[in-house]
Amino acid sequence: MTPHPLFDLTGRIALITGASRGIGEAIAHLLAEHGAHVICSSRKPEGCEAVAQAIRDKGLRAESHPCHIGEMDQIAATIAHVEARHGRLDILVNNAATNPYFGHILDTDPGSFQKTLDVNIRGYFFMSQAAGKLMRAQGKGAIVNVASVNALEPGDAQGTYSITKAAVVNMTQAFAKECASLGLRVNAIAPGWTRTRFAGALLDSKPHHDAIMARLPMKRPAEPQEMAGAVLYLVSDAASYTTGELLVVDGGLTI
């Protein structure tokens, strides 16, 4: 089926971080289905290559390139690879994130704190900066940052993670404001409870599951594909006048 022209990504190069599973994997598949050549990136080469191969098996365009966004040299190498191979980058989805510590904020150890900041803030910032410079040269591009509803309401025992996701929202607005005149649009989504390995431990625990569902008007967690649709809108021409926005996709949790 041919995509509607507003959602047609044919010929566009899209880099998705954290694409080896969950929300990132779903985003990679959907953007490819709408014509993009997707570059699946994550820390582990075998994980992102498996997703890229699954996309190619459907007759679509995909490749893999490993990158740990907590490492500055790997960010630079990834963007250099994209430029050398494709000469352009049209779409960046910052999805890779980490949350190594789950517990009371007063017991947060410095190592976990720093790792969370390195990936969730520094990684998003410098990946956006490097991609943005490539997009600036071509006069057009779209960046989507995957934040979290924890940016709006800190999650229990997830203090540092929540802080970093709030920073992602402000970072999105800062890049959007300064890059709009360059032809770049920068937006974010705030997923609610989504059935991924990242959230699986809590969703599989009956006390936590019941507490979450009690607050959730739709009475179910999202599937990763339900986040991908929001990203498709934000990177497509359908959102040509949308920048600096946070699209909350949470089943009504924050109403």
CA 79 to chain centre: 16
Domains held by the chain: number: 1
Residue 71 lies in a domain: yes
> Model confidence over 41-64: pLDDT tens digits?
999 999 999 999 999 999 999 999
Q: Contact 19/51 with Cβ under 8 angstroms?
A: yes
> Model confidence over 193-251: pLDDT tens digits?
898 776 666 666 676 778 888 889 999 999 999 999 999 999 999 999 999 999 999 99
Q: How far is the C-alpha of 174 from the C-alpha of 191, rounded, in Å? A: 20
The whole-number pLDDT of residue 218 equals: 93
Residue 254 lies in a domain: no
> Model confidence over 214-224: pLDDT tens digits?
889 999 999 99
Neighbouring residues of 62: CB distance < 8 A, sequence distance ≥ 6: 28, 32, 37, 38, 39, 40, 51, 52, 53, 55, 56
pTM for the full predicted model = 0.96
> Model confidence over 86-133: pLDDT tens digits?
999 999 999 999 999 999 999 999 999 999 999 999 999 999 999 999
Q: How far is the C-alpha of 24 from the C-alpha of 14, rounded, in Å? A: 12
pLDDT at 3 over 90: no
Residue 220 lies in a domain: yes
Q: How far is the C-alpha of 13 from the C-alpha of 98, rounded, in Å? A: 25
Residue type, 6: L
Q: How far is the C-alpha of 152 from the C-alpha of 243, rounded, in Å? A: 19
Residue 255 lies in a domain: no
pLDDT at 255 over 70: yes
The whole-number pLDDT of residue 215 equals: 87
Domain that holds residue 28: 5-248
Residue 27 lies in a domain: yes
Q: How far is the C-alpha of 225 from the C-alpha of 116, rounded, in Å? A: 25
The whole-number pLDDT of residue 2 equals: 76
The whole-number pLDDT of residue 173 equals: 98
Confidence class for position 69, pLDDT limits 50, 70, 90 = very high
The whole-number pLDDT of residue 53 equals: 98
Indicate the burial class of 108 (C-beta count within 10 angstroms; 0-12, 13-18, 19 or more): middle
The whole-number pLDDT of residue 199 equals: 67
Residue 98 lies in a domain: yes
The whole-number pLDDT of residue 146 equals: 98
- Indicate which residue of 101, 124, 161, 233 is catalytic: 161
Confidence class for position 16, pLDDT limits 50, 70, 90 = very high
Residue 253 lies in a domain: no
For a pLDDT cut of 70, what percent of the chain falls above it? 96
For a pLDDT cut of 90, what percent of the chain falls above it? 89
Whether 161 is catalytic: yes
Residue 242 lies in a domain: yes
CATH at 198: 3.40.50.720
The whole-number pLDDT of residue 198 equals: 67
